[in-house]
Amino acid sequence: MKGEVVVSTVNRPWLDPGQTPFIKVQGVTKSFGPFVAVDNVDLDIYHGELFALLGGSGCGKTTLLRMMAGFETPTSGRIVIDGIDMTDVPPYERPVNMMFQSYALFPHMSVEQNVAYGLKRDGLPKGEIDERVDAMLSMVELSPLSKRKPHQLSGGQRQRVALARSLVKKPKVLLLDEPLAALDKRLREQTQYELMDLQDRLGITFVVVTHDQEEAMTLSTRIAVMDAGSFMQIGTPTEIYEYPESRLVADFIGSTNMFEGVVHQQDQEHVSVKVAELDADIKIEHSTAAADGSKVWVAVRPEKIILSPSKPDNTEINVLRGVVEDIGYYGNSSTYRIRLENGVIVQVTHPNQRRPKDGRHVAEWEQEVYVGWEPSSGVVLTK
Amino acid sequence: MAKVLSGGRMARLAEKLQSSWKTVVVAVPFLWLLIFFLAPFFMVLKISLAESVFAQPPFTPLFEWVSEGVLAIRIVFDNFVFLWEDNLYLNTYLNSIKISSISTVLCLLVGYPIAYSIVRSSPTARNIFLLMVILPFWTSFLLRVYAWMGLLADQGTINSLLIWLGIIDQPIRLLYTEFSVYVGIVYTYLPFMILPLYANMEKLDISLLEAAADLGAKPAVTFLTVTLPMTIPGIIAGSLLVFIPATGEYVIPDLLGGGNVQMIGRVLYNEFTANTDWPVASAVAIVLLLVLVLPMMLYQHIQSKESES
C-alpha cells in the first residue's frame, strides 16, 4: 500500500474521484423498536463491483441488504440506486433482484416457471420469455432439469435455479443473501468461482451478504466489515486482511496474534512497542500516528511468523524463544501453538513445503523453537 | 463367547418386543375405528337391506332359521329403489348439497381473510384471535342455535333494532328461511374452515412472497400466483370439514329453517321417528354416506397420483 505510486482505477473505481457511485447509502438508520439494527451508515458502491457486507449474526448486514431490496424501509436516511432515490419505491418496482438465503423457490412451479416468473410480471411476449429462460437455464447448466419441481433438485441445483431466476431480469444490482451458506465445502468453492466469472461477464453490480470471511475475501472487490449496525472498515480484501484498522477487524478476519503494549520509541521508519507480557520490545514498520507512551496493540498474522529450530543469527529484532505446545496438521500447512518462556501462546502457521523425512515436520511437540517476524509483518492498532 | 451370544439374543428379544409394541400402537386406533365406525356402518347397511315390519325391532332380520337346518338370508333392495323413484328424496339430496356447497363457499370467503390476518398478526395477538375462533365451542351448540333464533325472529333482536332505527316498519322475515339456515351453518362451521387454513398458511414461507415482490409482482399478483396456489391444501381440508357435516346437518335446518327448508338430515330423522321406517331411514343414511365419501375418495386418488408423478 505504501509502495504503490500510480494506481490504476480501471478495476478500482472507488479510488477515482471522477466516478459516481452506483449505489449510494446515505445516513441510513433502521431500528426495530428500541433495537438499532443499522446505525447511520454511509456507503458508496460502484458499477460492476462485487461488494461484500461481512459480519457476524445480528450485525445488521442482512437488514441493510433488505433495505436495498425494498423489504425494509429505512427509519431515516436514503438509498439511491443509479441516480434514483429508491427509499420509498416498493420492491416490485426496483431495478434490483435478490437471491434469498433459503433460495425461496416457488415449490408449486417447475424450474422453468420459477425462472420465467419475473419476466411474466413484466408482460413480455411469450417467445421472448421462452428464449431468455432457455438461455439462462443453459448458462447455469440446468436445461435438462427445466421441467422438474424444486423438491426434486439437489441443494446445488436449487442454488443455481435461484441464481438464474434473479439474473434473468437483467437487474441493475443483484443482491445475494448468504449465497453459498447452504452448500457443502467443495461445491461452495466451485460456485464461488462461477459467481465471480458470471459477475465479470454480465457486468452487473453484486452486493453479497456473508458471515464467511473466506467467501468474502475470495469473491469480492471490496468488503465492508460490519459490527453492531456500523461499518468497522471498508476496503479491498488485501487492505482488510493486511492493514486492519482495529482489533475487531484483525480478530474477525483470519486469526491473529495480538499483543498489548505501549509506544516507547519511534523514528522515521519504525515504531517500538514495549509489550509487558512478553517482556520485550516489538519493532514494527511505521503505519500509525500513535504518540509516544500511548497504548496500542500489535497484530501479527500466524503465517507471517517464521519458525526455526535454532536461533536465527542474522537478527535480534522480534525474536522470541518458546516450546511447541500443540500442532494442528492441515496437510498443506500446520499450525503450531508455541508457549513462550513467559507463558504467552503464539500461533504460527508454517507451510508444509516438503514431505517430512521420517515423519518429522519443522518442529515436534515439546521442541524448543524460535519465532520471529519482519518489522513489516506486524500492524500497530490504536483501537 | 457365551456372553456375546446372549447379548445377541437379548438384542433379538428387544427387537421382537419393539415390533410387537409397534403392532399394539397401530392396533389400538384400528380396533377403535373397527368398533365405533365400521360396526355401526354394517348395522345400518344391514337394516337398509331389510323390510319394515310392525314389530320390535321394526325390521326383518337378515338371517333366519326357516326350518330345521335351513338358514335364509334375506336382502331387500326395495328401499333404495324407493329412494330413487320418489322425487322427494332426490330433490332433498340435491337441495342439501346445494345449501352445503354455498355455505362452504361463504365460509371460505369469510374464513380465508380471517385466517390470513391471524397468521400475519403478532404472536400475542395470534393466540388471542385463535382463542376467539375456538371460544364458541365452549358453549353448547344447541344453545347457540337457539340464540340465533332469538336474533332472527320476527320479534327478535335484529328486527326490533331495525324498526327502532326506523329503517323498516314491518319485521322482515328472517327466521325459517334459507337465509337463516345459511347464517346458522356459516356461523357454526366457520372455525372448521379457519383452523385448517390457519395451519396451512402458518407454514407459508414469507420469503416466497418477498421473492415474488422482488421479481416484480404487485401484492394482488403475488396473492394469485403464490399465496392462493400454496394454500390450496388448506382450502380443500377446510372445505371438506365444512361441506361433509353441513350436508347431513339436522339441527340447523330444523330449528332455523322450520318446515320451509328441506335437508336430508331432517328427512332421515322423520323416517326414523315419525314414520318408524328404519329400513328407509338406513337407506337414506347409506346413500348420504356414498354421496359424501365418493367425491372425497376421488380427490384423494387424484392427489396420490399427482404426488407420484
Question: Residue A273 sits in a domain of what CATH number?
Answer: 2.40.50.140
Residues A149 and A289 in one domain: no
DSSP states along A221-234: SEEEEEETTEEEEE
Residues B6 and B40 in one domain: yes
Strand arrangement, sheet containing A368-372: A306-308, A368-372, A319-329, A333-340, A345-351
Mean pLDDT of A271-286: 80
Residues A97 and A213 in one domain: yes
Q: Does B305 touch chain A (CB under 8 A)?
A: no
User: Measured between beta carbons, which residues in chain A are less than 8 angstroms from residue B210?
Assistant: 69, 71, 91, 98, 100, 104
Residue B287 lies in a domain: no
Residue B105 lies in a domain: yes
Domain interval for residue A66: 20-248
- Asked whether residue A293 carries a pLDDT value surpassing 80, the answer given is no
Instruction: State how beta strands A50-54 and A222-227 pair.
Output: parallel
- Asked whether residue A61 carries a pLDDT value surpassing 90, the answer given is yes
Would you state the pLDDT for residue B2? 46
Residues B44 and B150 in one domain: no
Q: Does A100 touch chain B (CB under 8 A)?
A: yes
Q: Does B207 touch chain A (CB under 8 A)?
A: yes
> pLDDT category, A274, cuts 50, 70, 90?
confident
Q: Does B210 touch chain A (CB under 8 A)?
A: yes
Residues B242 and B131 in one domain: yes
Domain boundary among the residues A248, A281, A308 is at A248
User: Can you say how many angstroms the Cα of residue A276 is from the centroid of all Cα atoms in its chain?
Assistant: 33
Size of interface A-B (CB pairs under 8 A): 59
Q: What's the residue count for chain B?
A: 309
Tell me the nearest-neighbour CA distance from A121 into chain B, angstroms.
6
Residues A83 and A48 in one domain: yes
Interchain pair B218, A122: CB under 8 A: no
In angstroms and rounded to an integer, the radius of gyration of the C-alpha atoms of chain B is 27
Interchain pair B216, A122: CB under 8 A: yes
Tell me the nearest-neighbour CA distance from B225 into chain A, angstroms.
9
When comparing pLDDT for B155 and A281, which is higher? B155
ipTM topping 0.90: no
B130-159: per-residue pLDDT in tens?
A: 999 999 889 999 999 999 999 999 999 999
> pLDDT category, B184, cuts 50, 70, 90?
very high
Residues B154 and B38 in one domain: no
User: Measured between beta carbons, which residues in chain B are less than 8 angstroms from residue A98?
Assistant: 210-211, 214
Q: A53-57, A265-269, B80-84: which range is least confident on average?
A: A265-269
Interchain pair B230, A108: CB under 8 A: yes
> Are A350 and A214 in contact, with CB atoms under 8 Å apart?
no
Residue A295's φ and ψ, nearest 5 degrees, are -80, 130
Mean pLDDT of B86-106: 93
Q: Does A182 touch chain B (CB under 8 A)?
A: no
Would you state the pLDDT for residue A272? 83
Interchain pair B215, A169: CB under 8 A: yes
Domain boundary among the residues A213, A248, A283 is at A248
Nearest to B205 by CA among A104, A27, A180: A104
Residue B231's φ and ψ, nearest 5 degrees, are -100, 10
Residues B32 and B137 in one domain: no
Residue A15 lies in a domain: no
C-alpha to C-alpha distance for A235 and A229, rounded to whole angstroms: 17
Residues B259 and B218 in one domain: yes
- Asked whether residue B284 carries a pLDDT value surpassing 70, the answer given is yes
Residue B284 lies in a domain: no
User: Measured between beta carbons, which residues in chain A are less than 8 angstroms from residue B215?
Assistant: 92, 97, 117-118, 121, 165-166, 169
Average pLDDT over all residues of chain A: 87
Interchain pair A104, B207: CB under 8 A: yes
Interchain pair B216, A106: CB under 8 A: no
Q: Does B308 touch chain A (CB under 8 A)?
A: no
Would you state the pLDDT for residue A199? 85
Residues A267 and A346 in one domain: yes
> pLDDT category, B309, cuts 50, 70, 90?
low
Residues B146 and B68 in one domain: no
C-alpha to C-alpha distance for A106 and B215, rounded to whole angstroms: 12
- Residue carrying the nine cell digits 326357516: B66
User: Measured between beta carbons, which residues in chain A are less than 8 angstroms from residue B218?
Assistant: 92
Residue B282 lies in a domain: no
Residues A28 and A156 in one domain: yes
Mean pLDDT of B186-202: 95
Residues A179 and A261 in one domain: no
Interchain pair A118, B215: CB under 8 A: yes
CATH at B114: 1.10.3720.10
CB neighbours of residue B114 within 10 Å: 18
Residues B41 and B111 in one domain: no
Mean pLDDT of A116-143: 92
> A193-213 in b/e burial notation, b at 16+ Cβ within 10 A?
eebbebbeeeebbbbbbbbeb
User: Measured between beta carbons, which residues in chain B are less than 8 angstroms from residue A107?
Assistant: 230
Strand partners, A226: A231
DSSP states along A60-106: SHHHHHHHHHTSS--SEEEEEETTEE-TT--GGGSSEEEE-TT----
Question: Which one of B122, B208, B214 would you mutate to disrupt binding with A, by most A Cβ within 10 Å of its Cβ?
Answer: B214
Residues B66 and B91 in one domain: no
User: What is the domain count for chain A?
Assistant: 2
Domain boundary among the residues A201, A219, A248 is at A248
Would you state the pLDDT for residue A359? 65
Residues A194 and A64 in one domain: yes
C-alpha to C-alpha distance for B268 and B182, rounded to whole angstroms: 20
Residue A5 lies in a domain: no
Q: What's the residue count for chain A?
A: 383
Residues A241 and A306 in one domain: no
Tell me the nearest-neighbour CA distance from B195 into chain A, angstroms.
23
Would you state the pLDDT for residue A18? 77
Would you state the pLDDT for residue A116? 95
Residues A75 and A202 in one domain: yes
> pLDDT category, B17, cuts 50, 70, 90?
confident
List all residues 6 or more positions away from A30 whose beta carbon is below 8 Å from its beta carbon.
A36, A37, A38, A60, A63, A64, A67, A72, A74, A75
Q: Does A117 touch chain B (CB under 8 A)?
A: yes
User: Measured between beta carbons, which residues in chain B are less than 8 angstroms from residue A108?
Assistant: 229-230
Note every long-range contact of A306-309, with CB atoms under 8 Å and residues 24 or more positions apart, other chains counting: A306/A371, A306/A372, A306/A373, A307/A336, A307/A338, A307/A348, A307/A350, A307/A362, A307/A363, A307/A369, A307/A370, A307/A371, A308/A362, A308/A369, A308/A370, A308/A372, A309/A362, A309/A363, A309/A367, A309/A368, A309/A369, A309/A370
* Amino acid identity for residue B48 in this structure: S
- Asked whether residue A28 carries a pLDDT value surpassing 90, the answer given is yes
Residue B159 lies in a domain: yes
Residues B129 and B236 in one domain: yes
Mean pLDDT of A357-361: 69
User: What is the domain count for chain B?
Assistant: 2
Domain boundary among the residues B73, B107, B132 is at B73
Mean pLDDT of B90-108: 95
The beta-carbon neighbor of B214 closest among A91, A102, A105 is A91
Would you state the pLDDT for residue A208? 94
Q: What percent of chain A has pLDDT over 90?
A: 42
- Asked whether residue B109 carries a pLDDT value surpassing 90, the answer given is yes
- Asked whether residue A198 carries a pLDDT value surpassing 90, the answer given is no
Residue B80 lies in a domain: no
> pLDDT category, A1, cuts 50, 70, 90?
very low
Residues B249 and B114 in one domain: yes
Would you state the pLDDT for residue A7? 55
Interchain pair A100, B212: CB under 8 A: no
Residues A314 and A280 in one domain: yes
How far is CA B174 from each of CA A168, B166, B237, rounded to the nearest angstrom?
58, 18, 31
User: What residue in B sits closest to A90 (Cα-Cα)?
Assistant: B213
C-alpha to C-alpha distance for B104 and B106, rounded to whole angstroms: 5
Residues B150 and B243 in one domain: yes
> pLDDT category, A118, cuts 50, 70, 90?
very high
B245-265: per-residue pLDDT in tens?
A: 999 899 999 999 987 888 999
Cis peptide before B57 (omega within 30 of 0): yes
Domain interval for residue B146: 86-276
- Asked whether residue A134 carries a pLDDT value surpassing 80, the answer given is yes
Residue B79 lies in a domain: no
> pLDDT category, B1, cuts 50, 70, 90?
very low
C-alpha to C-alpha distance for A223 and A215, rounded to whole angstroms: 11
User: Measured between beta carbons, which residues in chain B are less than 8 angstroms from residue A104?
Assistant: 205, 207-208, 210-211
Tell me the nearest-neighbour CA distance from A196 into chain B, angstroms.
23
Mean pLDDT of A176-189: 84
Interchain pair B214, A102: CB under 8 A: no
Q: What percent of chain B has pLDDT over 90?
A: 59
Residues A242 and A290 in one domain: no
> B42-74 in b/e burial notation, b at 16+ Cβ within 10 A?
eebebbbbbebeeeeebbbeeeeeeeeeeeeee
Residue A366, helix vs strand vs coil: coil
> Are A75 and A41 in contact, with CB atoms under 8 Å apart?
no
